[in-house]
Structure 1
Amino acid sequence: MDDVLKDVLVVELGTMVTAPLAGMMLSDMGARVIKVELPETGDPFRAHGGGRYSPPFVAYNRGKESIQLDLRSPEGLANLSRLLNRADIVLENFRPGVMEKLGLDNDRLRALNPRLIRASITGFGNDGPYRDRPSYDSVPLALSGLSSLMLDPQDPRMSGPTISDNITGMYAAQGILAALLRRTRTGTGGHVEVNMLEAAISFMPDAFAQFSRAGIVSGPETRVRISQAYSLRTQDGLLVTVHVSSVQKFWEGLLNVIGRPDLAQNERFATPAARTQNYSALRQILMDIFATRSREAWVAALAAEGVPGAPVNRVDEVADDPQVRHLGTFARTIHPTMGEVIGIKSPIRLDGTRRDNPPPPPELNADAAAVAAEFGFGS
């Protein structure tokens, strides 16, 4: 897998999450990624929590090289042009119009390097009424409707991981790969555009299909009711998730696990449609029963009956899960000055392989001298 994009050069002008994630995904497939950072501070994510090697920066920047260029100066722009002249991809998540202000509009880039692929990530697109608005993760989540599927309107507390940032970076990487494939046929680059709003909307096609086909306006429980998914507290105060869907054998298996075969004859629960309609009542029954045994006991019982279910692992428990250990999901590398760095390997395997030991994220400007000499930077 780490040879797929061998000899592909990516110049990353990104900060924070969206573009850095896309760059990291390309690096995991073997691309060389030179991260161009701001003078003095570098990527703002570096300083989260102090220092210049914060956990958020580490999360999104493995396997890259780092240089600093002042793109407000003629020298910095000239050196960037030297990079772009030989690059395959320039990846940026500036606000619309910034590249043009730098003199790096599509016509200029095409003249500089006809094979160059520009990938632009924005909050809302390069035109339209929201074009110039600032955007962070929670904003497109709200606009897209995705937040409405997660928030309790009576107690709207925001929670959970970064979603729209991450999926936008993933869509950007997909678009870049498509542009690279097209270039093998045409010999020319192009402009990949991805925005956070549409990425968030695309992340939940089922909700829009439910509305357009059935008139159902989805809310926080719509999918879990249809899917018959439950998170239940056990006797030891831990959580278990069960997901029986509409598959009859899973429903029957769950009834065997909880010792309540009589529920199969209860008209409120006899069919998938009835269980969806009476989700809250069934959930309360399951909550009462699951509170009588430990998480470990319930997980073992569900597995024995072949019922889809799992412990709700905390973040500190995931690496020790037997399947995660078997998969070798986490990578441990040693940075020469920052010590041990633990990251997540790419979940994509090709012919059973992936990059097992991706290089750690770079220190700020760590590769300046080598890159300057290679590309003939002026002072």
Structure 2
Amino acid sequence: MPGPLDGIAVVELTTMITGPLTGMMLADMGADVVKIENPEGGDPFRSYGGGAYSAQFCSYNRNKRSLAISLRTDLGRQALERLVQRSDVLLENFRPGVLDRLGFPDARLVELNPRLVRCSITGFGADGPYSDRPCYDAIAQALSGMSSQFLDAAAPRLSGTTISDNVTGQYACYGILSALLERERKGVARRVEVNMLEATVAFMPEPFGYWTQNGEVADAYLRIRNSQAYAFRCADGRMVAIHLSSQPKFWAGLLGAIARPDLGADPRFATLEGRIANYEILLAEAGVDFARQPATHWFQRLAEFDVPFASVNDVTEVFADPQVKHLDSFYGLTHPVKGDLVSVRRPVRFDGSRADQPAEAPPMLGEHTDAILAELGLAREAAAAG
């Protein structure tokens, strides 16, 4: 079944995470994404941990075609020119000015194809005091204020998965799809610009609302206290997370689940404001109860009293989770070098189905070079160059 972006052609000039994720999201919707890679090693993410098909590369590059060619050669520039002429989207995450130096400033791209949506992903934007600096996930998290929501100031240590990289890629895809829709409605092809700093700031509006409206500086626990979210360790060592929010029925449900009506009668916890102010005390009090029984006991009790809860799964446990299995969130791909791979499905369904999602493994470096050059009418020149 063709996807909703079937017939949309994308040229991807990106590496690492932000751009490749954007390209993969478009490819998962059915777009034909041609990833141009340097013939000498390709996307640097390929070689993480040795080899050419790291887990990192495979996580962000399924459903694409790889064209291995140098844009510093006449053949490479000619191939890019012809791809631009036939494509709907050009996606790049070079530092500002690199594409210009390669001979493809925005004005020339428009001249080659007035209907081309151009998307540029940078760390800090096209100009400004930081625009020439390199940027990675930890840098954008730190500068945006996000790291302050997780770090222990007394013993600072970065942790967790990529956030700034991933949300930037998602915002870039959002911008591209909006620009494609506008192009179809109004005939205007836009230049879309997304940077990691702004994307990360936009991803967490609440802490800025706390400061500008309430004068509160959010730390790692402000939202957790306000949201009345807790994690408890059970007698068997497993952990359970609960989220009471502001609805009284969930607080009442927790009291019933742990059989502690006395906590409800305690004036410190009688109101939501009191529970927020006395969060640490309540955490300790309820923690004693959770430590008396295994996790399965608490899962049953919390479900019985309709309390929002979940097991704190590690990555391996996610695969076995009943709801994840029901949703069929993972699927298999066969890679010609790495063999069987497990990939995360696109989290979007159309008409209740994901049958339109392509299922092609991340490409080998240059796997589609000959075929793409032939499509562009450059096979003879490629043979001569080789």
Distance 2:137 2:209 in 1: 24
Distance 2:151 2:117 in 1: 38
Alignment check: 8 A CA contact 1:333 1:357 kept: no
Counterparts in 2 of 1:233-244, with a 5 A limit? 233-244=233-244
Instruction: Compare 288-297 and 127-136 and name the one that shifted more.
Output: 288-297
Aligned residue type for 1:375: L
Alignment check: 8 A CA contact 1:13 1:37 kept: yes
Aligned residue type for 2:36: V
Q: Displacement, 1:337?
A: 3.6
Alignment check: 8 A CA contact 1:331 1:356 kept: no
Q: Pick closer, same or farther for the CA change 1:190–1:42 going to 2, 3 Å.
A: same
Alignment check: 8 A CA contact 1:331 1:357 kept: no
Q: SS in structure 2 opposite 1:35?
A: strand
Distance 1:100 1:345 in 2: 36
Q: Displacement, 1:2?
A: 5.0
CA RMSD of aligned residues (A): 1.1
Distance 2:267 2:325 in 1: 43
Question: Which residue matches 1:67?
Answer: 67
Question: Which residue matches 1:370?
Answer: 371
Instruction: Compare 13-22 and 73-82 and name the one that shifted more.
Output: 73-82
Counterparts in 2 of 1:281-292, with a 5 A limit? 281-292=281-292
Question: Which residue matches 1:39?
Answer: 39
> Under a length normalisation based on structure 1, what TM-score does the superposition of the two structures give?
0.98
Question: Which residue matches 2:186?
Answer: 186
Alignment check: 8 A CA contact 1:345 1:358 kept: no
Distance 1:36 1:233 in 2: 48
- What whole-Å deviation, never above 9, does each CA across 1:51-89 have from its counterpart, x for those lacking one? 101100010001001111101122211111111110110
Q: SS in structure 1 opposite 2:269?
A: coil
Distance 2:98 2:2 in 1: 32
Aligned residue type for 2:3: D
Question: Which residue matches 1:95?
Answer: 95
Aligned residue type for 1:370: A
Q: Displacement, 1:290?
A: 1.0
- What whole-Å deviation, never above 9, does each CA across 1:295-354 have from its counterpart, x for those lacking one? 122112111111000000010010110000000000112223421111001111121122
Q: SS in structure 1 opposite 2:366?
A: coil
Instruction: Compare 184-193 and 21-30 and name the one that shifted more.
Output: 184-193
Distance 2:14 2:315 in 1: 27
Distance 2:40 2:101 in 1: 22
Q: Pick closer, same or farther for the CA change 1:112–1:83 going to 2, 3 Å.
A: same
Question: Which residue matches 2:314?
Answer: 314
Aligned residue type for 2:62: R
Structure 1: runs of 5 or more not aligned? none
Distance 1:292 1:359 in 2: 49
Q: Pick closer, same or farther for the CA change 1:122–1:356 going to 2, 3 Å.
A: closer
Alignment check: 8 A CA contact 1:232 1:240 kept: yes
- What whole-Å deviation, never above 9, does each CA across 1:80-132 have from its counterpart, x for those lacking one? 11111101101110001101111111110011111111100000000100000
Number of aligned residue pairs:
379
Question: Which residue matches 2:261?
Answer: 261
Structure 2: runs of 5 or more not aligned? none
Q: SS in structure 1 opposite 2:320?
A: coil
- What whole-Å deviation, never above 9, does each CA across 1:149-170 have from its counterpart, x for those lacking one? 1111111111111000000000
Alignment check: 8 A CA contact 2:62 2:361 kept: yes
Distance 1:66 1:103 in 2: 22
Distance 2:110 2:328 in 1: 42
Alignment check: 8 A CA contact 1:2 1:28 kept: no
Distance 2:96 2:84 in 1: 20
Counterparts in 2 of 1:303-342, with a 5 A limit? 303-342=303-342
Alignment check: 8 A CA contact 2:168 2:196 kept: yes
Instruction: Compare 114-123 and 231-240 and name the one that shifted more.
Output: 231-240
Question: Which residue matches 1:118?
Answer: 118
Alignment check: 8 A CA contact 1:117 1:192 kept: yes
Alignment check: 8 A CA contact 2:39 2:366 kept: no
Distance 1:312 1:73 in 2: 52
Alignment check: 8 A CA contact 1:19 1:91 kept: yes
Distance 1:357 1:340 in 2: 16
Q: Displacement, 1:291?
A: 1.0
1:294 aligns with 2:294: yes
Alignment check: 8 A CA contact 1:332 1:357 kept: no
Q: SS in structure 2 opposite 1:268?
A: helix
Q: SS in structure 2 opposite 1:12?
A: strand
Q: SS in structure 2 opposite 1:158?
A: coil
Question: Which residue matches 1:170?
Answer: 170
Distance 1:300 1:37 in 2: 52
Q: Displacement, 1:215?
A: 0.7
| Percentage identity across paired residues of the two chains | 51
Q: Which runs of 4+ in 1 moved over 4 A?
A: none
1:134 aligns with 2:113: no
Aligned residue type for 1:250: F
Aligned residue type for 1:363: M
Instruction: Compare 215-224 and 66-75 and name the one that shifted more.
Output: 66-75
Q: Displacement, 1:356?
A: 5.3
Instruction: Compare 11-20 and 343-352 and name the one that shifted more.
Output: 343-352
Alignment check: 8 A CA contact 1:91 1:119 kept: yes
Aligned residue type for 1:127: D
